[in-house]
Structure 1
Amino acid sequence: MTDPLSDVLTILGARVTRRTRLEASGEWALAFPALDRLKFVALLRGASWIMVEGRPPQRMAAGDVCLLGRTAYAVASDPELPPLDGQALYGTPGCDAVRLGGDDMVSIGGTVAFAEGNAGFLLDMLPDFLFIPKSTAASGAMAAVLALIDGEVGRDLIGGDIISARLADVFVVEAIRAYAASAAQFEIGWLGALADPRLGRALRAIHGDIARPWTVADLAQVAGMSRAAFSAAFTRRVGEPPLAYVRAWRLTMARAALASGEESVASIAGKVGYTSQSAFGHAFRSAFGAAPRAHARS
């Protein structure tokens, strides 16, 4: 059985494309717009607040981490302060570090980008805001990687950029793991489903053999549940019925394969479980608004 998180991150081409640092003292506040990206913010020193629309302000202390989806957000020394345009401060090419008065508070950030058009599948499955406090039981590995990232900044050795980039990629996965471990306890979303022993088995089976003509009964048997109980639990956790999830992942995989331009439409259709190229074309157009061949050319 395939690890679904690894499968999704690999197929979608997820990687940390930019790493930033913020040092600040006194009163300060910065706002950032909503984008199609996954972003992590980790506090190395001091404390700050992070604000996301529709949620109460969240205080962050050293060692705390959050992951942000498409949402706009702000960071500040005080949640009541009017924020400056943070994107403008980091907008100059090569400007990946900002200092506001001092370094009582130090945080690092990373932007996870996806291959063009591929962000939707994962971002639709994740909450817009995931908070992972240092006290989380599964945060030990995350803290170790964070310390390595911070240490690499001051070493100024050859190969530092690629080491920092790889560490940032690992850090994102560790943060998602830590959140998933806590999400399972509260039955939260796709990550909670991955960590659930029964639903996780079904998801691993789907990702391990996406071309199989899955039925709800097949997946319920893998999960060790009745058909009705499995379908209800899967839909509640993941946000869509089991076969809708199978279809969405098949078409997402197909779109990624078409973008590479290395295989024919017929070959890709077969690999993701469509025995008829016309059925594949119809499903693809319904999902993405264009025929597979047109998508491949674009």
Structure 2
Amino acid sequence: MELSHSSKSSLDPLSNILDVLGARISRRTRMEAAGQWALAFPALDRLKFVAMLRGSQWLLRPDKDPQLLSAGDVCLLGRTAYTVASDASLAPIDGQAVYDDAGGDVARLGGDDVIAIGGTVTIDAAEAGFFLDMLPDALIISGAAPASGTIATILQLIGKEIDEDLPGREIVSARLADVLLVEAIRAYGRQAPMGWLGALSDPRLGRALRAIHADVAEPWTVARLAGIAGMSRAAFSAEFTRRVGQPPLSYLRTWRLMAARTALNRGGVAVAQAAQAVGYTSQSAFGHAFRRAFGVSPRAGRRP
């Protein structure tokens, strides 16, 4: 089910990115388990969330220390293989095969001492890297964190939908999963010292990012963005680059081209229209920039 979004260009940065990149929760799963168990899942170009409704389980990732997830915790997983287990020392079996053998999206392993729900967020293949590169392999939001109050409420509502066979349960659960995903990203951003999410939560850099995403076609300069951030040009450029990983105008150019390519791939938009919508007054300049970024011309870059 696609994340609900607006078509307006004035979306906030996170909504704008999820909208343009076609982020959607393509699968929702539930696991009920007791006793000894361990399930392994491969690395994929997707974002996945795991939320604990009851009990606890270990999360294991390559070359990382095991982490215990308890009821109320939410974990967002990017491009990483991972294992969930009752005991960190157990040898895992193929988790995807367990769900496939169960013939659905619910895996039952001996009881319900542990209940966890999951959601797979898929992104348009060509654009997946832009968003996933902004995120670490795993974002863990503790249920005990000060910012997790809203998450706790959402998990309670999801648990109620699971326990009670009410009319409309599927659509309510899907909407709650949408909100849970965004709230988990927000919560992590508030505690992230680095990266795009941390910059978005920063009072000064966040204002500049919101300005860019509110009007990507505006002829932004570093000086103007620095003024919006309330910083000197040099300090803004250095801090933006340090936190986001690229200079302000490089970020702007990357996002413009990403948005234009998405518009072209969705169809119904001419190359000249796509170029103008993201701030290129010259179709030739747009074509050169597009080829430098993606290796093909705007027309050739359209997906079938």
Q: Report if TM-score (shorter chain) is over 0.5.
A: yes
1:212 to 218, 233, 237: 218
Structure 1 residue 169 corresponds to structure 2 residue 155: no
Return the alpha-carbon distance in structure 2 between the equivalents of residues 93 and 162 of structure 1. 22
Aligned to 1:240: 246
Aligned to 2:268: 262
Structure 1 residue 22 corresponds to structure 2 residue 31: yes
Amino acid at match of 1:216: V
Fraction of identical pairs, as percent: 65
Aligned to 1:273: 279
Deviation at residue 264 of structure 1 after TM alignment: 0.6
The alpha-carbon distance between structure 1 residues 294 and 94, as it changes in their structure 2 partners (threshold 3 A), is farther
Superposition RMSD in Å? 1.5
The alpha-carbon distance between structure 1 residues 218 and 51, as it changes in their structure 2 partners (threshold 3 A), is same
Amino acid at match of 1:156: D
Say which SS state the counterpart of residue 234 (structure 2) adopts: helix
Deviation at residue 243 of structure 1 after TM alignment: 0.9
Return the alpha-carbon distance in structure 1 between the equivalents of residues 103 and 165 of structure 2. 17
The 5-angstrom pairing of residues 125-204 of structure 1 reads 125-183=134-192, 187-204=193-210
Structure 1 residue 42 corresponds to structure 2 residue 48: no
1:288 to 279, 287, 294: 294
Say which SS state the counterpart of residue 293 (structure 1) adopts: coil
Return the alpha-carbon distance in structure 1 between the equivalents of residues 27 and 128 of structure 2. 16
Return the alpha-carbon distance in structure 1 between the equivalents of residues 180 and 94 of structure 2. 27
Structure 1 residue 54 corresponds to structure 2 residue 63: yes
Q: TM-score normalised to the size of structure 1?
A: 0.95
Return the alpha-carbon distance in structure 1 between the equivalents of residues 22 and 102 of structure 2. 23
The 5-angstrom pairing of residues 217-232 of structure 1 reads 217-232=223-238
The alpha-carbon distance between structure 1 residues 76 and 93, as it changes in their structure 2 partners (threshold 3 A), is closer
Return the alpha-carbon distance in structure 2 between the equivalents of residues 54 and 229 of structure 1. 36
Deviation at residue 176 of structure 1 after TM alignment: 0.8
Query: Which structure 1 segments of 5+ residues have no match?
Result: none
Return the alpha-carbon distance in structure 2 between the equivalents of residues 286 and 165 of structure 1. 39
Say which SS state the counterpart of residue 143 (structure 1) adopts: helix
Aligned to 2:111: 102
Return the alpha-carbon distance in structure 2 between the equivalents of residues 156 and 116 of structure 1. 36
Deviation at residue 54 of structure 1 after TM alignment: 3.0
Deviation at residue 158 of structure 1 after TM alignment: 3.2
Deviation at residue 117 of structure 1 after TM alignment: 2.1
Q: C-alpha offsets along residues 78-127 of structure 1, whole Å, 9 cap, x if unaligned?
A: 11211111111123595111111111111110001123422221111111
Return the alpha-carbon distance in structure 2 between the equivalents of residues 211 and 100 of structure 1. 52
Return the alpha-carbon distance in structure 2 between the equivalents of residues 286 and 21 of structure 1. 43
Q: How many residues align?
A: 295
Query: Which structure 2 segments of 5+ residues have no match?
Result: 1-9
Q: More deviation in 194-203 or 49-58? A: 49-58
Say which SS state the counterpart of residue 18 (structure 1) adopts: strand
The alpha-carbon distance between structure 1 residues 94 and 66, as it changes in their structure 2 partners (threshold 3 A), is same
Deviation at residue 188 of structure 1 after TM alignment: 2.1
Return the alpha-carbon distance in structure 2 between the equivalents of residues 84 and 210 of structure 1. 46
Deviation at residue 61 of structure 1 after TM alignment: 0.8
The alpha-carbon distance between structure 1 residues 103 and 93, as it changes in their structure 2 partners (threshold 3 A), is closer
Return the alpha-carbon distance in structure 2 between the equivalents of residues 177 and 19 of structure 1. 20
Amino acid at match of 1:195: S
Return the alpha-carbon distance in structure 1 between the equivalents of residues 223 and 144 of structure 2. 40
The alpha-carbon distance between structure 1 residues 29 and 285, as it changes in their structure 2 partners (threshold 3 A), is same
Return the alpha-carbon distance in structure 1 between the equivalents of residues 14 and 46 of structure 2. 16
Q: TM-score normalised to the size of structure 2?
A: 0.93
